[in-house]
Amino acid sequence: MRLLVLTAVTMTAFAANSVLNRMALLDGEAGPAAFAAIRVISGGLMLAALVSVRSGLPKLSGRARWVGTGSLTLYMLGFSFAYVALDAGLGALILFGGVQITMFAGALLAGERPEARRWVGAAIAFSGLIWLVWPGSAAAPATLPVLMMAAAALGWGVYSLAGRGVADPLGETAANFLLAAPVMLIAWIAVSDGIGPQGVLLAVISGAVTSGLGYALWYSVLPRLDTGVAALAQLTVPVIALAGGVLLLGEEVTLRLALASVVVLGGVALGVRRPQRRSGSSGS
């Protein structure tokens, strides 16, 4: 039960990033570059503090560090700029589906040969996303924010692929956040958007709490979760973000969004589900 509660808290924290970002931009309390920069800085400081308590300062040097830092920067900027126009739940769904498709494509490029079930699941999820964002319909979202969130999904997908198998994921994440912070500051200066006190508060919560502490909690429970369970648990993130958008931001759930969510999440669930092993003749 404790593991279940911790997993639910973690997924809620991840979903909260969409709601917090959209809330800050919707109320005009922050510009997208300012929000992203403060989120990364506060997240980096929180993660560095956690790593320091455990094992000393994060190691900023490392093999292919630029991949992790660059993909994290792409994710943060794309995520924040997309929420200028996208609702929280819609953005989370595009992000989540895009990340899964990116990781599937990355596995193919790495020479892996996925099972037929994963091919079918990826195809279903991709078709649901295409239907959701296809231009020309009155219910379709604007193209540019969708492209920005697709860029964020690409960034997070590459970041996840690059981080597979690392010995210290929390330390690696802290180092990447710290190295991405100067890049985010440059982007903020280049865009020159503003941020108010409430925007700063929301960005710090998103960075230090729902990102920094959220990632730390996730890495603590992940080793105790079956791989399939961990993947399926993440299916709840877009649903929680959708509920948060409705309850806290007054967003509407259209029939198209609801149906597309079922298609996308159903496809991902099919792709990540581990087949059940048949029990032996002894019944054990």
pLDDT tens across the length of the chain (284 residues): 788 889 899 999 999 999 999 999 998 889 999 999 999 999 999 999 999 988 777 777 766 678 889 999 999 999 999 999 999 989 999 998 888 888 888 888 888 787 888 788 888 888 888 888 877 665 678 889 999 999 999 999 898 888 777 888 888 899 999 999 999 999 999 998 999 999 999 999 999 999 999 999 998 888 887 766 777 788 888 989 999 999 999 998 888 888 888 998 888 888 766 655 443 333 43
Given this model, what pLDDT does residue 137 score? 62
Instruction: Report the alpha-carbon distance of residue 184 to residue 39 in Å, rounded.
Output: 9
Q: What confidence score (pLDDT) does residue 247 get? A: 93
For residue 149, the number of C-alpha atoms closer than 13 Å in the C-beta half-sphere is 27
pLDDT at 147: 94
Supply the DSSP symbol for 207. I
pLDDT recorded at residue 130: 87
* CB of 106 closer than 8 Å to CB of 157: yes
Burial class (CB in 10 A: 0-12, 13-18, 19+), 88: buried
In the prediction, which pLDDT does 232 show?
73
Q: Can you give the pLDDT at residue 24?
A: 95
Distance CA 234, CA 164 (A): 17
Chain center to CA of 84 = 17
pLDDT attached to residue 280: 39
The pLDDT, as a whole number, for residue 245 is: 93
Give residue 257's pLDDT. 86
Q: Rounded to the nearest 5°, which phi and psi values hold at 35?
A: -60, -45
Question: 245: closest CA among 17, 87, 27?
Answer: 87
